Structure 1
Amino acid sequence: MHRVKPLPSYLVQRYHGWKATTYQENRSWYRRLATEGQRPRAMVISCCDSRVHITSIFGADQGEFFIHRNIANLVPPYEPDGDHHGTSAAVEYAVTVLKVSQLIVMGHSQCGGIQGCIEMCKGNAPELEKKNSFVGRWMDILRPKYDLVADMDDRVEQARALEKQSVIISLENLMDFPFVVEAVDNGELTLHGLWNEIGKGELEYYDHASGGFHPV
C-alpha cells in the first residue's frame, strides 16, 4: 500500500471550499441524511463517462438518486453464479432494500464503450478480444445487438443506434431478475430508458410501443 498517496492539492482545496459553503449552508440536511438513512425515489444506471452528470441533468439533491455507473450503462443478464456482480448487486439492493419506485437506464452520445464494442465486433480491436480484457468481456453483453446496426454505413448513426440498443438490452436483462419482475408486476417499480445527447443537452426516452426513442 506504499503506492497510495495523499489527495492532490486541487482536490483538497475543492473539498474545503465545499465544506465551507455547500455543506455549511445545508448541514442540517446532511445530518438528517446521516441519522435517518437514505430513501431515494429512483435508481439510475448510467455510464462512467465524466461528461454524464445525472444529478445536474435532473437537478437532484443528495439522497434523491441511488446511482450506479459502469462502462456503457449496461445491465448484465441474471446469472446468480456466485461470482462478483457489482451491477446486479446494486440493482438487488435498490429494488429489494431501498424499494425505489423508478429504475432508469440512461445511455449517451459519443460513448467510448459503445465505440469499442463496434470496433471489436468488426474485428478491429484484437486487444478487446482477449480473455483478460475486462472491457471486452463486459461489452460482450451488448454484442448480440450489434447485428441490428452492422449494415449501417454512417459511423455516427451506427454508434448512436448501438448506444440506444445498450439501453434496450439493459431493460431486457432487468426483466430477467425475478425480484425486478415481481416489483414491476406488483406496480411497485417502473422501468425507464433514456438517451442523452451530450453536445445539445437533449434527452430522449424509450417507447416500447413504437420501439424507438422520442424527445422528452
Structure 2
Amino acid sequence: MDFASPLPAYLVKRYHGWKATSFAENKAWYRHLAEQGQHPRAMIISCCDSRVHVTAIFGADQGEFFIHRNIANLVPPYEPDGNQHGTSAAVEYAVTALKVAHVVVVGHSNCGGVQGCLDMCSGHAPELEQKSSFVGRWMDILRPGYDRIKDLPDHDSQRRALEKEAILVSLENLMTFPFVKEAVAAGTLTLHGLWNDIGSGGIEQYDPDTNAFHPV
C-alpha cells in the first residue's frame, strides 16, 4: 500500500502535545474507558463541517457522546435493501446496542451541503443531478424539505429555512426506524433537533408545540 503516507509533522507534534498533557493528566479515566467500554448517554448526529465542534459546544468528555457526522446532518429513511448504510448502521448501534437515552440532530448556519441541495433542487447545480454524484444522491434525502420552503421569497430565507428542514427531515426519518419508534413509544429514548449559529455561538432547539425553533 505505497499510496499511504506518514502523518504531516504538525499533526505528529499536536499528538505528542496531547499525550504529554491532557492524556497524562487523565490516565485513570482513559484506562477506565478502555476497560469498561463506552456507555454514552446521547447520540449526536451532526454535519461534517469542520466548524461544528459538538463536544466543545456541550463541554463533553470522552465517552459521553456517540457521534456520527455526515454531509448536512441527514438521516435517511429506513430502507433495509442490502446496500451499505453508514448512518442507518450508526443509529441502529446507538439505539439497540448502546441504549442511548437521547438522539440529537445538530444542524448549523451556512451549511455547504444544504446550499448544494438548494442549488441542485432549483436547477443551478446540474453536476449534482448526475447519478455519479455521491453528494447529490445524498442530498436527495432533503428534497422533501426543499419542497416545503421553495416558495419563500428570496435565496437567503430559503437557505436558512432549509438548514432547519434538514433537521426536521432527519427527525421524521428517524421515526421510520422500527427500533427508534418503539424506544420513543416506550419512553426510553427522546429525539431532539438543534440548530447552531456558528458566528454567534447561538443554539436554537425545535419545539413541537409551536412547530418552530427557539433559542435555548
After TM superposition, the score normalised by the length of structure 1 is 0.99
More displaced, 141-150 or 34-43? 141-150
> Does 2:197 correspond to 1:203?
no
Letter in 1 for 2:172: E
State percent identity of aligned pairs.
Answer: 70
Q: CA deviation at 1:152?
A: 1.9
Aligned-partner SS, 2:214: strand
**What letter is aligned with 1:189?**
L
Which segments of structure 1 move beyond 4 Å, counting only runs of 4 or more?
none
* Superposition RMSD in Å: 0.6
Corresponding residue for 1:120?
120
Matches within 5 A, 1:16-165: 16-165=16-165
Structure 2 counterpart SS, 1:22: helix
Q: Is the 8 A contact 2:197 2:203 kept in 1?
A: yes
| Residue type at the aligned position of 2:39 | R
- Please give the per-residue CA displacement for 1:158-207, whole angstroms capped at 9, x wherever unaligned: 11100000000100000000000111111100000000000000000001
How much does 1:144 deviate? 1.5
Alpha-carbon distance, 1:209 to partner = 1.5
Structure 2 gap ranges (5+): none
What is the CA deviation profile of residues 85-108 of structure 1, one whole-angstrom value per residue up to 9, with x for unaligned ones? 000000000000000001100100
3-state SS, counterpart of residue 135 of structure 1: helix
Between the aligned partners of 2:52 and 2:71, the Cα distance in structure 1 is: 12
What secondary structure sits across from 1:66 in the alignment? strand
Amino acid at match of 1:157: S
> Deviation string for 1:56-107 (max 9, x for gaps)?
0000000000000000000000000110000000000000000000110010
Give the Cα–Cα distance (whole angstroms) in 2 for the partners of residues 30 and 112 of structure 1. 35
1:179 corresponds to which letter in structure 2? F
Deviations 1:130-162 (A, max 9, x none): 001000000000011112211223322211100
Aligned length: 216
Residue in 2 aligned with 1:2? 2
Letter in 1 for 2:144: P
Q: Deviations over 1:106-127 (max 9, x none)?
A: 1000000000000001111011
Instruction: Report the Cα distance in structure 1 between the residues aligned to 2:90 and 2:38, rounded to whole angstroms.
Output: 14
CA distance in 1 between counterparts of 2:152 and 2:186 reads: 40
Shift of residue 3, structure 1, vs aligned partner: 1.1
| Mapped contact 2:40–2:100 kept (Cα < 8 A) | yes
Return the letter of the residue paired with 2:147: D
